[in-house]
Amino acid sequence: MRARATVGAPARARSNASNASPRDGSVVGLIGGLRVVAAALAAHARDGARTNATHVAEDPTYVVFLAASVVAFGTVASGEAMSLRRRRARARKAVKECATMLDLRKAGDGTGAGKGKMRDGGKVGAEFWNDLGFLLRAAFPSATSRGGQLLGAQFTLLVMRTLLTVRANKVNTFYLTKAISSASWKFWVRWFFNFCGWMASGVVVNSGLRYTESLITIELRAALTKKAHKMYMENNNFYKTAVLRHGGLDNVDQRIVADIDAFAKEAAFLYGHSFKPILEFTLSLTEAAKELGYSRPLALFASQIIITSVLRSISPRLGPMVAREAALEGGFRHTHARLIAHAEEIALLDGGKREVDILDEGLDNLVVTQRWHALQRIRKSVADNISKFQGLLVGSIFVHVPFMMKDAVSEGERISTFRATEELMLRCGGAFTEVLLLGKNLDELAGYTHRLSQLFKTLDRSNKEALEERAAKSATVAAPEHAAPIVFDAVTVGAPEPDGSHRVLVKDLTLALKPGEHLLITGPNGCGKTSLLRVLAGLWAPIAGTISRPSGVSSIMWLPQRPYLLQGSLRDQVVYPRDARSEKIDDARVKECLMMAGLGKFVNGSMNVGLNTRHLEWNDVLSGGERQRIGFARLYYHAPKFAILDEATSAINPDEESALYERLIATETTVVSIAHRLELRKFHKNELKIAGDGLGAFKIVKL
């Protein structure tokens, strides 16, 4: 039936052409000729459409599933569109609120200055290529580095696989069609052995490729994460970015833990999957050109570039979507991290119900945004699929026509060369479309690249600022005339305000702290006692004036109200920041320090605890007073020249507090304390009374 219809249509068109009798050379003749061609094409098209419709009508299962699929997809998508249309205002508000909360707008360019840049970030452009180059150079510094060697190994395997596919495919198809068309066992056996050889090599090469791709992913992730760790821990950047929000970076932990991993996976995938289609395209084209010449395939690919560019222009950009989702993902993760960090306080307040709302809100912000993005991605997916299928359609026309017009060859010869060439062209076209579609992965990579370059640029800037600050200090600060190791010279301290200004807490403080001149700092809540110590530690920069102080745990140590406890053994807590795994530690001394701090029960065998006892979270197993005593044991162990104590005995009863102070002073440590209890006055020589009047007034009195 189909054959009749196909043959009948051109016959009618031919009879129409003879009726038109075009006069050679005249315009009317030309128009008549064109009308004949158009009528013939229309007749063929009608015939083709009718035949197709008849085939479809003959297959009710196909029709039912086709209709069901269209209805299912349409219902889900339109339902989503309607529900999100209603919630879109809310969704946008949620994203905006979340963005404000996380400083996403500030994070747009990592400088805190780029309002609205979040939407622009993550595009594939000059900035993206620069940033990508920077990240890759950081991970693969040279061809001889481990990363460089892995890239080289994978490149060799990629070339090998492409050669294998292109060559083997051509030979396989040729032998098989020849064998089948002429029923030749000789050619079939040749095909069989070719195929076996191709299969064996393919198995080895493909397994090698998969292995090297995972190694490259791991190498990329490890190298970038180590670089991030190094920069993050230098110059107290972790404090500056997390607490002071320098650079306006949101969720640095998410960037280091999750975004680097996603970037590594995407980049390794792109490396492995972009070389293959590019090489396959070049090699297949060279082979196919032997039969078709270069002009036809190149014209085909030029038309593909134009069509794909048009389709791409209607697709949404994935980069900004990826960046936004990653940021919201970080926000959601942060709500969980806070819940764990404050589990006991929340449980005591019976805050479970309230916390469910907070957690769900974080999830909702993410989910609504993801659903909205999924809807946007339909446009992308439609464009990609059209691009893929039209490539096959247009490609077939370019390949079929030369063979339809080829005479003077046997049927067997025509079909075998056609099948071999078609296979190559299909491969070539497939590879070409794959290259064009890599844009999607490139877009996603751009999203992660944007977030990581913000991270590295912010940390780098912060490190440079710290270096400049240090250089300026050493150039301007003259060696103090007095022999005091800690000197405040006309120092003004201020609390940072959200608008970038400072609220003055202490103004023009000049003070030289000599060994043995124990200092007590007092004043009302929020007057700036701890802030003064933050400035002394270098966490905050003074608004004016200069400070000189010694550095290193043997010279100066801080003991806050809640001492930091790490994952590890009891010994680790006492010797921190020294590392008990790599340094020789005198256990007898550690025990002595614990006894001095009133924690003898941990080491005298009365409890089931010893220096080797380990806990993931010591904060959960020690009381507030015990935690503070561990801090004292640490001070005794390091015996620094200066100890800065910020309400370090607030959880210890007054009688025992005195004993802890006495032992500390006996180790010849000079103490600077912040304390509210009057009993502690007796251990200090001077008292710095901060007024907390908003003008920075203070008084120094002898005790």
Ligand X SMILES: Nc1ncnc2c1ncn2[C@@H]1O[C@H](COP(=O)(O)OP(=O)(O)OP(=O)(O)O)[C@@H](O)[C@H]1O
Strand locations in 240-349 (E): none
CB 432 within 8 A of CB 279: no
Taking the complex as a whole, how short is the minimal distance between the CB of residue 634 and ligand X, in angstroms? 21
Taking the complex as a whole, how short is the minimal distance between the CB of residue 436 and ligand X, in angstroms? 50
Q: 526 phi and psi, to 5 degrees?
A: 80, 10
- Closer CB to ligand X, 530 or 555, in the complex: 530
Which listed residue (462, 531, 573, 670) binds ligand X by CB under 6 A?
A: 531
Q: What's the rounded Cα separation, in Å, for the pair 381 and 404? A: 34
How does strand 519-522 pair with strand 568-569? Answer: unpaired
Tell me, by CB under 6 A, how many residues bind ligand X: 12
Per DSSP, the chain holds a count of helices (H) and strands (E) of: 22, 11
- Closer CB to ligand X, 5 or 691, in the complex: 691
CA atoms within 13 A on the CB side of 267: 30
| Residue among 576, 499, 491 nearest 534 (CA) | 491
**537 touches ligand X (CB under 6 A):** no
Range in contact with ligand X (rule: CB under 6 A) among 142-150, 272-280, 330-338, 518-526: 518-526
Contact mark string toward ligand X, 479..508, x via CB under 6 A: ----------------xx--------x---
DSSP string, 419-472: HHHHHHHHHHHHHHHHHHHHHHHHHHHHHHHHHHHHHHHHHHHHHHHHHHHHHH
Taking the complex as a whole, how short is the minimal distance between the CB of residue 502 and ligand X, in angstroms? 9
Taking the complex as a whole, how short is the minimal distance between the CB of residue 243 and ligand X, in angstroms? 5
- Closer CB to ligand X, 210 or 699, in the complex: 699
> Is the peptide bond preceding residue 577 cis, with omega within 30 degrees of 0?
yes
CB 260 within 8 A of CB 225: yes
Taking the complex as a whole, how short is the minimal distance between the CB of residue 334 and ligand X, in angstroms? 17
| Residue length of the chain | 703
Taking the complex as a whole, how short is the minimal distance between the CB of residue 530 and ligand X, in angstroms? 3
Contact mark string toward ligand X, 353..392, x via CB under 6 A: ----------------------------------------
Q: What share of the chain is helix, strand, coil (3-state, %, to 5)?
A: 70, 10, 20
- Closer CB to ligand X, 141 or 526, in the complex: 526
DSSP string, 51-109: HHHHHHHT-HHHHHHHHHHHHHHHHHHHHHHHHHHHHHHHHHHHHHHHHHHHTHHHHTT
Count of C-beta atoms within a 10 Å radius of residue 13: 18
Range in contact with ligand X (rule: CB under 6 A) among 99-107, 207-215, 433-441, 521-529: 521-529
Residue by residue, what is the 3-state secondary structure of 637-688?
HHCCCEEEEECCCCCCCHHHHHHHHHHHHHCCCEEEEECCCHHHHHHCCEEE
DSSP state of 256: I
Which listed residue (161, 246, 529, 571) binds ligand X by CB under 6 A?
A: 529
CB 519 within 8 A of CB 513: yes
Taking the complex as a whole, how short is the minimal distance between the CB of residue 523 and ligand X, in angstroms? 6
DSSP 3-state assignment of 564? coil
Range in contact with ligand X (rule: CB under 6 A) among 405-413, 478-486, 523-531, 577-585: 523-531
Taking the complex as a whole, how short is the minimal distance between the CB of residue 495 and ligand X, in angstroms? 3
Taking the complex as a whole, how short is the minimal distance between the CB of residue 525 and ligand X, in angstroms? 3
Find the farthest-apart pair of alpha carbons in the chain and give their distance in angstroms, rounded.
Answer: 123
- Closer CB to ligand X, 341 or 666, in the complex: 341
Q: What's the rounded Cα separation, in Å, for the pair 619 and 578? A: 20
Taking the complex as a whole, how short is the minimal distance between the CB of residue 541 and ligand X, in angstroms? 13
Q: What's the rounded Cα separation, in Å, for the pair 592 and 264? A: 49
Taking the complex as a whole, how short is the minimal distance between the CB of residue 472 and ligand X, in angstroms? 24
**526 touches ligand X (CB under 6 A):** yes
Binding residues among 177-206 for ligand X as defined by CB under 6 A: none
Which listed residue (142, 525, 606, 623) binds ligand X by CB under 6 A?
A: 525
How does strand 686-690 pair with strand 519-522? Answer: parallel
What are 548's strand-pairing partners? Answer: 487
Taking the complex as a whole, how short is the minimal distance between the CB of residue 496 and ligand X, in angstroms? 5
- Closer CB to ligand X, 445 or 527, in the complex: 527
Binding residues among 275-314 for ligand X as defined by CB under 6 A: none
**694 touches ligand X (CB under 6 A):** no
- Closer CB to ligand X, 426 or 505, in the complex: 505
Range in contact with ligand X (rule: CB under 6 A) among 71-79, 95-103, 318-326, 526-534: 526-534
Binding residues among 242-261 for ligand X as defined by CB under 6 A: 243
Taking the complex as a whole, how short is the minimal distance between the CB of residue 562 and ligand X, in angstroms? 12
Range in contact with ligand X (rule: CB under 6 A) among 154-162, 455-463, 520-528, 611-619: 520-528
Which token pair is 309? 């560019």
Please report, to the nearest 10 degrees, the dihedral formed by the alpha carbons of residues 250, 253, 254, 259 taken in order: 110
**528 touches ligand X (CB under 6 A):** yes
- Closer CB to ligand X, 432 or 698, in the complex: 698
Taking the complex as a whole, how short is the minimal distance between the CB of residue 122 and ligand X, in angstroms? 30
Range in contact with ligand X (rule: CB under 6 A) among 91-99, 172-180, 339-347, 524-532: 524-532
Binding residues among 224-243 for ligand X as defined by CB under 6 A: 243
**38 touches ligand X (CB under 6 A):** no
Which listed residue (36, 428, 435, 527) binds ligand X by CB under 6 A?
A: 527
Taking the complex as a whole, how short is the minimal distance between the CB of residue 219 and ligand X, in angstroms? 38
DSSP state of 255: I
Taking the complex as a whole, how short is the minimal distance between the CB of residue 244 and ligand X, in angstroms? 6
Residue 350 CA: distances (Å) to CA of 63, 335, 370: 58, 17, 32
Which listed residue (390, 492, 530, 658) binds ligand X by CB under 6 A?
A: 530
- Closer CB to ligand X, 511 or 590, in the complex: 511
Q: What are the CB-based long-range contacts (under 8 Å, 24+) for 260-265?
A: 260/221, 260/224, 260/225, 260/228, 260/452, 261/221, 262/326, 262/448, 263/135, 263/220, 263/224, 263/445, 263/448, 263/449, 263/452, 264/217, 264/218, 264/220, 264/221, 264/224, 265/217
Enumerate binding residues for ligand X (CB under 6 A).
243, 495-496, 505, 523, 525-531
